[in-house]
Structure 1
Amino acid sequence: MTTEISPELKSLRDATLDIERHVATGGWDAPIRLFALVRAQAALAANPELANELPADVHAESIADPHLLFSVEQEDLPQTASLDELLGHIVWPEEVDGAAISVERIVLPPSAESDIPDDDEAALSYLQNHPERQDVRMVVAALRIGATWSVIRMRSHDSDADVLSGENLVEGLTAAIKATFE
């Protein structure tokens, strides 16, 4: 059974997949990357000169699709001690319709999590050397209106065809990126 998704969610899904493919071209062991999402049609109406900066296909598609999003990577992110602290510093102007973040993490099966040491250095060593560890890249996006999409790529299945994609696959990160609009 195929479920229809709204035009807004389809656009968010497509933008999130595009961001993940873009980030994947840089390989693994990458820093956190943050992107603003903007509706192309509205941005071009407000700033026609933007047409010279956008890829031709984005400009052409935006004529027919008012929901089409383009991403703008946010460079020179502030140095913070944690992801929560970084996102706590982010304030988006009204022209930004959504945001996406790319984060890499090590995940373990639930059975191994109870053995993680309390000491930070020992915990990191435990994670990095665990035989069942999985390296994942998560790209999580949210629109100001509340719609969300997530894409997960595993290093062990590093192919565009093998990414996991869906609404709210990473609950904590989804809530954190949504909170940047509150």
Structure 2
Amino acid sequence: MPPAQQALAEAVVEIERHVATGGWDGPVRVFALVRTQAALDAQPALAGQLPAEVLAAAAADPHHLTSVEQEGLPAGDDLEGLLGGIAWPDGVDGAAVTVERIVLPPEAEDGLPEDPEAALAALLAHPQRQDVRIAVGVLRDGTTWSAVRQRALDADGAVGQGPDVVPGLADALVATFR
């Protein structure tokens, strides 16, 4: 794996674990990703706010990323609208988002009631329903990484990950840099 993608993978896994400490049923969360050493060079006082292990990692790896959670985002369930309204300044090297979703097998749509509210209730009660937390990170150059945790297997060691796990969400996040 190229060093920049490795740094992104580590940042995404760290973000997912951080969000997991808050439990389930949380809001969408968005993070800016900055190269740690570049941020330290631009703002030396930042060194006093970072743990020693982060400073050591930044000194050893110029690709090391630090995440900065974006607070005060508008509330709502419209992830496309939220991401469509984000534009990152030049000093941001990447971005990440965490979101919880329900995953169902394709056959779950067979025989659904016509009424939208009844259909939603049926889907939410489906026995094969899986709740997942998705963390997706991207770099400006389009490099991506994702981590997915299932509520039913809620353990750090059971988090699936890879570069192309959630391509649609990764594409939407990359678009925030255009």
TM range, smaller chain:
over 0.9
Q: Matches of residues 9-158 of structure 1 in structure 2 within 5 Å?
A: 9-80=5-76, 82-117=78-113, 119-158=115-154
| 3-state SS, counterpart of residue 47 of structure 2 | helix
Instruction: Give every structure 1 segment of 4 or more consecutive aligned residues whose post-TM-superposition deviation is greater than 2 Å.
Output: 113-124
1:106–1:127 CA contact under 8 A, matched in 2: no
> How far does the alpha carbon of each residue in 1:140-167 deviate from its partner, in whole angstroms, 9 at most, with x for none?
0100111000000001110001110000
2:96–2:138 CA contact under 8 A, matched in 1: yes
- 2:124 aligned with 1:163, yes or no? no
Provide structure 2 residue ranges, at least 5 long, that are not aligned to the other structure.
none
Shift in alpha-carbon separation, 1:119–1:38, aligned structure 2, 3 A:
farther
What letter is aligned with 1:103? Answer: V
Per-residue deviation, 1:56 = 1.8
Give the TM-score, by structure 2 length: 0.95
Per-residue deviation, 1:71 = 0.3
Looking at structure 1, the residues matched to 115 and 51 of structure 2 have their Cα atoms a distance apart, in angstroms, of 48
Give the TM-score, by structure 1 length: 0.93
Shift in alpha-carbon separation, 1:91–1:116, aligned structure 2, 3 A:
farther
User: When the two structures are aligned, how many residues end up with a matched partner?
Assistant: 178
Provide structure 1 residue ranges, at least 5 long, that are not aligned to the other structure.
none
| 3-state SS, counterpart of residue 30 of structure 2 | strand
Shift in alpha-carbon separation, 1:145–1:157, aligned structure 2, 3 A:
same
Identity %: 57
